[in-house]
């Protein structure tokens, strides 16, 4: 399955959440690959703590592959190559691999048929070799979004299972922006329709993830005084109503990730050790990532049973 991670704003928590979900999926026993399609800023290697690919790789990165410089893009075994010592592959875990962008790579200014063709080929191969392929796209109405919509209509890739996750913070600006990214002019749905997708078909593939959320009834809100508590409660309700008007209400919400102090200061994978041994991370955050991975992989599990 291909999962496209998108957001309208930058800094939404798209990459931190998607990398953690990919990690959890591999731990749950699904072969997983992460494709860094944030072409203007391919820094996902930093989250996986693969030091030599922190900002992409100097040769055979995804930019090089898409421009036709190489036929064989670099693929990094995160279990083996992460510099984080505690990131070891446990028994039962499957592959967790990263396809980084190119060092100094930038957004595509021109979308040629060759680039679309290579992208479709990449998706086809990734889909054959991995059960879950997470594609982290540049923020906003980007060339990356245009590229993957076109590639998924290409004959090589049109039968591949896919879905879209739209990430947003739980604030007014982010909720409005996420709604616009999907439903607005030049948004995901309109653009999909231009690329020959049905409107309903697009809608069915899209759901939303709220990131870095403080639950007014949760543990982390206990430190607030009573005025702050009731204010937060009212704002939360207001946001819920704004979200449902903007088309991202509870019915299309895929999940919610709590605000976590570790992630606030350091973009990283949260291990069970972080939550239960050193206890620097909140177990609720790890549970949210597990839950997202579990539900994302449910169709893959069902497909395994059918075979």
- In three-state secondary structure terms, 298 is helix
Partner from Mg ion, ligand ATP, none contacting 11, C-beta within 5 to 8 A by type: ligand ATP
Query: Of 1, 7, 133, 247, which lies in the binding site for ligand ATP, with binding defined by CB under 6 A?
Result: 7
| Least distance CB 98 / ligand ATP (angstroms) | 15
User: Is 38 one of the binding residues for ligand ATP (CB under 6 A)?
Assistant: yes
* CB closer to ligand ATP out of 32 and 211: 211
| Least distance CB 131 / ligand ATP (angstroms) | 23
Partner from ligand ATP, Mg ion, none contacting 12, C-beta within 5 to 8 A by type: ligand ATP
Q: In the complex, which residues of this chain contact Mg ion (CB under 5 A)?
A: 15
Window contacting ligand ATP (CB under 6 A); options: 71-79, 181-189, 202-210, 263-271: 263-271
Cross-strand pairs, 213: 258
- In three-state secondary structure terms, 54 is strand
Query: Of 14, 63, 168, 210, which lies in the binding site for ligand ATP, with binding defined by CB under 6 A?
Result: 14
- What is the C-alpha separation between 33 and 135, in angstroms, rounded? 9
- What is the C-alpha separation between 245 and 239, in angstroms, rounded? 10
| Least distance CB 169 / Mg ion (angstroms) | 13
Question: Number of residues in contact with ligand ATP, rule: CB under 6 A?
Answer: 18
* CB closer to Mg ion out of 15 and 285: 15
Backbone φ and ψ for 44, nearest 5 degrees, come out as: -65, -25
Cross-strand pairs, 6: 166
Buried b (16+ CB within 10 A) or exposed e, 213-245: beebeeebeeeeeeeeeeebeeebeebeebbee
User: Is 8 one of the binding residues for ligand ATP (CB under 6 A)?
Assistant: no
User: Is 259 one of the binding residues for ligand ATP (CB under 6 A)?
Assistant: yes
| Beta pairing class for 162-169 and 76-77 | unpaired
| Least distance CB 291 / ligand ATP (angstroms) | 14
Backbone φ and ψ for 86, nearest 5 degrees, come out as: -85, 0
User: Is 11 one of the binding residues for ligand ATP (CB under 6 A)?
Assistant: yes
- What is the C-alpha separation between 173 and 257, in angstroms, rounded? 18
Alpha carbon 159 to its chain's center: 21
User: Is 74 one of the binding residues for ligand ATP (CB under 6 A)?
Assistant: no
* CB closer to ligand ATP out of 15 and 32: 15
């Amino acid at each position: 399955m291909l999962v496209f991670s998108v957001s309208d704003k930058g800094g939404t928590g798209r990459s931190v959440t998607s990398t953690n979900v990919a990690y959890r999926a591999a731990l749950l026993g699904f072969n997983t690959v992460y494709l860094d399609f944030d072409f203007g800023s391919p820094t996902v290697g930093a989250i996986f703590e693969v030091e030599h690919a922190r900002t992409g790789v100097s040769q055979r990165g995804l930019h090089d592959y898409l421009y036709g410089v190489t036929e064989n893009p670099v693929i990094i075994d995160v279990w083996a190559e992460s510099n984080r010592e505690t990131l070891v592959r446990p028994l039962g875990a499957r592959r967790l691999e990263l396809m980084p962008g190119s060092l100094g790579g930038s957004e595509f200014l021109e979308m040629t048929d060759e680039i679309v063709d290579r992208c479709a080929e990449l998706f086809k191969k990734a889909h054959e070799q991995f059960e879950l392929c997470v594609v982290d796209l540049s923020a906003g109405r980007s060339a990356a979004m245009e590229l993957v919509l076109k590639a998924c209509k290409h004959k090589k890739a049109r039968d591949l299972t896919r879905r879209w996750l739209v990430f947003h913070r739980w604030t007014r600006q982010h909720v409005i922006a996420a709604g616009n990214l999907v439903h607005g002019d030049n948004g995901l749905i309109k653009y999909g329709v231009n690329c020959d997708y049905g409107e309903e078909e697009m809608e069915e593939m899209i759901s939303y993830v709220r990131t870095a959320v403080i639950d007014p009834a949760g543990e982390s809100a206990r430190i607030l005084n009573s005025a702050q508590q009731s204010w937060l409660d009212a704002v939360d309700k207001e946001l819920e109503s704004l979200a449902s008007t903007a088309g991202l209400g509870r019915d299309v919400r895929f999940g919610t990730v709590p605000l976590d102090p570790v992630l606030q200061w350091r973009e990283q994978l949260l291990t069970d050790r972080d939550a239960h041994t050193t206890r620097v991370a909140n177990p609720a955050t790890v549970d949210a990532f597990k839950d997202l991975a579990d539900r994302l992989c449910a169709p893959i599990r069902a497909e395994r049973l059918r075979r």
